[in-house]
Every structure is written in structure tokens, then in C-alpha cells.
Amino acid sequence: MPELMQFLMSGVTVGAVYALVALGFTIIYNASDVVNFAQGEFVMLGGMMTVFGYAAGLPLPVAALVAILATAAIGVALNKLAIEPARGAPVVSLIIITIGASIFIRGVSQVVFGKQLHRFPAFSGDAPIPVLGATILPQSLWVIAGALAIFVGLWLFFTRTLTGRAVLATANNRMAAQLVGINTRYVMSLSFALSAAIGALAGVLVTPITLVSYDIGISLALKGFAAAMLGGMGNPKGALAGGLLLGLMEALTAGYISSQYKDAAAFVVILGVLFFMPQGLFGTKTTERV
């Protein structure tokens, strides 16, 4: 029983990170129909830049804030330099562009930050807290609380603010949004900034536990994508549920089946969802027009 508890807790912790990556996918996908495979790199950049800011003598919260803002700026640059010029390109081209961006960011990071694993200290120390016979790291609580705070904050943003509603309107119907005077280019940039910042924050929260290296982005992106699909592409609630579910599945696979194949869980999920419920848990059905 304590064993299961332990698996569940580590599952929820990584699941919260996957949920944040999935949320990043969701925001950009809703605003632009683009699946941004560079999403995982934002997590890496958030963690990595915090490491180097902190090492350079900045207080941890300041280093984290700088890292998040810088990542958001990189997100906007990605939109302006690579996505916007390719508007109207076939999906295959967009896939190659965002994967190219992901590999490019990874390549630059390898040169700038080196190939080692990095970390900075946990926010509230490393003393495990006993819970129901298992233990949990204080940092895990930070991760879970941070993810919940972001989901709540974003929900408020989308439902209570004018800008948030403009983003939603654009997601529903870009043409109509343009007609009522919404600047959809601005909305696109905002979406990239937002989802990059969310990714970076996830990186900041999780780095003390998982450490960060230049090459963690791709696998995070894939797992985030799996989570987003599991929940139903384009649905924020689905991103949260999908992320947590995937995290739990991975932890249970690692615990009871084989830790070497824990990464396979994500792909089994992807393939399973695609074949058996293409709309995901919360998705809606669409009909193709000819």
C-alpha cells in the first residue's frame, strides 16, 4: 500500500508537468491550429536559464522570473520568425518547422549551456514529508500547487478578461474574430508568449527534482502532446486530466512493469487514443467539408 501511494505521488508530480506542457499545446493549437512541437524546449529553457541566472548570483525568484520572461520572448520570436511567415503552409511543412525549431533551440542550448545535467536548490528544502505511509518532496507540492494555480489563473483570464475572451473568440472562428476587430496576429503572439511562459514555469518548478539538460525537451513535448490528445486536443480541462492520467500511468508502469519502458506508456497512450477514441476524453467531433 505505501508502495502504491509512493507511485501515485510521483505520478501526480510528473503528471502536473505534463499537464502544463499539454496546456501550452492547447493554447497555441486553439489560437492557430498549429501543434508546436517545440513546446518541450520551453520547459528546458525555463529550468536552464534559472540555473544559470542563479549561478550568476541572482536570487532564485528573480532568476526564475527572468527565465520565464526570456522564454516568453523566445516564444514570441518563434511565432514571428517561423510560424507567421509560413501561414497557409501544408501541415507537413508546419510539423517540420516546429520540430526544426525544437532541434534548433536544443542545438543552441547544447552549445551555450553544455551537455551536463544542472539543478538549483529546491524552494523549501529536500526533507521528505511523510504522507499516508509514503513520502513526498516539498518541491513536488510546489509543482502540484503551481500547476493548479496556473490552471485556475488561466481559467480566470479566459473567462473574466477582455483579452482572454478575444483569444477564445479567435480560437472559435478566426475570420469572425477579425471582423469584430480583434487583432488576431496579436492574439497569436500572446498565445505563444503565454504557452512559452507556462512551459518555462513548469521547468522552474520541476528542475530541482528531475534536473535539467539540453535534451529533455523532445520527450517532454511528446508526452505533453500525448496528454493533450488523451484529454482531447484543444481542451484545457482535457490537458489537465490527460497530463495527470499520463503521469500516473507512467509511474505505475515504472513501478509495476519495467522502469526501462516507462517512456513507452506515453506512446501506448497515443496509439490507443488515436485508434479507440480519436476525440479524446473531452474532445468534440468535427466533420470535414468538401
Partner 1 sequence: MRLSTKAVTLLVLSLVIAVAPLFFPSTFYYRVGSLIFINGLAVTGLVILIGYAGQISLGHAGFFGIGAYACALAPAHLGLHPVLAAVLGAVLSGVVAYVVGKPILRLKGYYLAVASLGFGVLVAMVLANEAWLTGGPDGIAVADPGLRALLRGFGVDLSNAQFWYGFCGLVLVLGAWLALNLYHSPTGRALRALHGSEVAARTVGVDVARYKLNAFVISAVYASVAGSLLALQNRLVTPDMAGFMHSIEMVTMTVLGGAASVPGAILGAAILTALPQVLTVFQEYEQLMLGLVMMLVMIFMRQGLLPSLARLLRGRGG
Which CB, 5 or 84, lies closer to partner 1? 84
76 binds partner 1 (CB under 8 A): no
Question: Binding marks (x or -) toward partner 1, 196..235, rule CB under 8 A?
Answer: ----------------------x---x--xx--x------
CA distance 166 to 181: 10
Q: Residues 174, 33, 81, CA angle at the centre, nearest 5°?
A: 95
Alpha helices in 87-183 (DSSP H): 91-113, 138-160, 162-172, 174-179
Which residue from 91, 129, 149, 176 is in contact with partner 1, where contact means CB under 8 A? 91
Could you tell me the three cell numbers for 155? 481559467
CA distance 277 to 209: 34
260 binds partner 1 (CB under 8 A): yes
- Binding-residue total with partner 1 (CB under 8 A): 41
Which CB, 42 or 120, lies closer to partner 1? 42
116 binds partner 1 (CB under 8 A): no
Give me the least distance between CB of 199 and partner 1, in Å please: 18
Tracing cell 493533450 back to the chain, one arrives at 228
103 binds partner 1 (CB under 8 A): yes
281 binds partner 1 (CB under 8 A): no
Cα torsion angle, 42, 45, 46, 47, sign: positive
List of residues 6+ apart from 16 with CB closer than 8 A: 143, 144, 146, 147, 148, 243, 244, 247
Pairing of strands 134-136, 129-131: antiparallel
Give me the least distance between CB of 87 and partner 1, in Å please: 10
Identify residues 14-43 at the interface with partner 1 (CB under 8 A).
35
Could you tell me the three cell numbers for 54? 542563479
CA distance 53 to 161: 33
141 binds partner 1 (CB under 8 A): no
Q: Which residues bind partner 1 (CB under 8 A)?
A: 35, 82, 85-86, 89, 91-97, 99-108, 110-111, 218, 222, 225-226, 229, 260-261, 263-264, 266-267, 270-271, 274-275, 278, 290
